[in-house]
A = this chain, B = another copy of it.
């Protein structure tokens, strides 16, 4: 099992109850990445379902997750031929971290789109894109070690004091260590980029309050492209939309999160 597979492992210990161990390798300076927490929870939710894929996940983020043992509880709300709807929560010793509603279904890997829009933005070729600078070990940004991100240069201009003035973030994404994309990797990908508000000139910890993402197709092997933007920053809140395209040029995931503007 790959590093990511191991780090998101959920061991069934009873009816709808799973032991998990939150991995220190997915930290963003202390708290664990929210996408990683969703991936862990979804491993349990899918195991508890007769269907194979997490097509829709709505997550409320209750508190920051820390490395260590935790538990997922999955309760089936309704199941039918096409979908199963579950409530699932991720609970650590500190209390509940995530409260979610998850719809599972079984997607057809060979389905062809009836209609598809094009990507929300165009990306320059890989060799014109930029990685983030290596984080200092004392920063606790261990997440960066798990993935390769190559950014559309203007969307990381904020690093050099030149934000674009718009909430946006765009990058090619893949996990290191040869882990190919699957639905759980997509849960990480939709929340893996720096907050879009950094590009609008804001800074500081931007805690997610709610994130909903939909799995739209099973991803092909290779690089993913993550295109993120926001529509409104105001009253202490902002939205962040991400769409994820796979190497075949298919829209594979869509997300929107509502988050608080940081005080940094």
Contact = CB atoms under 8 A, between A and B. Distances in A.
A77 B101 contact: no
Contact of A60 (B101, B117, B230): B101
Contacts of A235: 107-108, 111, 217
A12 interface: no
Interface stretch (A81-89, A171-179, A184-192): A81-89
A256 B202 CA distance: 26
Interface in A53-69: 55-56, 58, 60, 62-63
Interface in A136-172: 165-167
Interface in A206-264: 209-210, 212, 214, 216-217, 230-237, 239, 243, 251, 254, 256, 258, 260-261
B234 A254 contact: no
Contacts of A166: 115, 117
Contact of A254 (B60, B78, B99, B239): B239
Given A56-B210, A101-B58, A96 B77 contact: yes
B113 A99 contact: no
Given A99-B101, A254-B239, A210 B113 contact: no
B200 A216 contact: no
8 contacts: A60-B77, A62-B85, A100-B101, A103-B210, A116-B234, A216-B239, A217-B232, A231-B251
Interface of A: 55-56, 58, 60, 62-63, 77-78, 82-83, 85, 87, 96, 99-101, 103, 107-108, 111-117, 165-167, 200, 202, 209-210, 212, 214, 216-217, 230-237, 239, 243, 251, 254, 256, 258, 260-261
